[in-house]
Amino acid sequence: MPHLTRTGTQLPATGTTELPPDEVWGKLGFGIPGYAHPLVAPVEWAGLTRPGTPLHWVVLNVDHGPGDRPDPHCLEAAGKLRNAGVRVLGHLDLAHGSRSFGDLVSDAHRYLEWYRVDGFLLDRCPADRAALQEVRRTTATLEAVLDGGHLVLGHGSHPYPGYAEAADQLVTFSGPWTDYRWSQVAEWTADHPPERFVHFVHGVPRTHLEEAMRIARWQGAGTIFFTDRAGDRSGNGHCGAFEALPGYWDEIVSQIGPGVSE
């Protein structure tokens, strides 16, 4: 997986156009964890193709994965994003290591065949050293299936350092603002550039938005998604919080600045 060790290569904010590092990573960009179905959240999906939005990627989660058959509404949404130069990632649930290798690869093939995704978010990824070998087996296979592409490991916390060599990006925080504002970064992350790390934070009040962005920069995260929406109480953690636009979407877009597509 040679592209995982190119420390000088930067992730374009929209599409695959290579740009100088200061043009791409001088400011934070968004990773969208996965909005609700396009029929339920049409405004959210339509807004993602607005020129100048600093997007690194958008996750397509059809039905806890690719679903049983192609969904015409998701096909349309993914097509519009790709035509706008936005990287689309398929959602693969590792279920903390309990899903079989065969099921994950099967889901990956369906995403590629039906939606032509540019990579994958491996959600609920294990973070301990014991699971690293199996996760690396999965990411190596996905790399071959994609013939390149972009892989994000959705740990939600700082994993064993060896995971940094298994994917392009790691989600090292996913949770509520009440935890994020007091969080600490793992020392080993200082050995990697900001484009390797992702933070998802829900329940961020508008009055603390600037503080949240300062924390992301201090902790060395290059990709973020902040929302004022709260997590659900159904036992699914923060899932519902990320299915719609935050109330201050326009404000946070303007604070981060225009994307490279503008």
Provide the terminal-to-terminal Cα distance of the chain, rounded to the nearest Å: 32
Task: Take residue 26 and report the two structure tokens written for it.
Answer: 């001088």
Q: Are strands 119-123 and 169-176 parallel, antiparallel or unpaired?
A: unpaired
Cβ proximity of 249 and 41 under 8 Å: no
Residues near 61 by beta carbon (within 8 Å), at least 6 away in sequence: 34, 91
Q: Taking Cα atoms as reference points, which of 77, 103, 108, 102 lies closest to residue 90?
A: 108
Model pLDDT, residue 258: 59
Give the integer Cα–Cα distance in Å for 176 and 95: 20
Helix then strand count (H, E) for the chain reads 8, 8
Cβ proximity of 53 and 251 under 8 Å: no
Beta-bridge partners for 171: 198
Could you read off the pLDDT tens digit of each residue along the chain, which spans 262 residues? Answer: 333 333 333 444 444 333 333 344 346 899 999 999 999 999 999 989 888 899 999 999 999 999 999 999 999 999 999 999 999 999 999 999 999 999 999 999 999 999 999 999 999 999 999 999 999 999 999 999 998 899 999 999 999 999 999 999 999 999 999 999 999 999 999 999 999 999 999 999 999 999 999 999 999 999 999 999 987 644 344 458 898 889 999 999 988 865 433 3
Can you give the pTM of this predicted structure? Answer: 0.87
Ramachandran region, residue 29 (left: φ > 0; alpha: ψ -120 to 50; beta: rest): beta
Give the integer Cα–Cα distance in Å for 31 and 156: 14
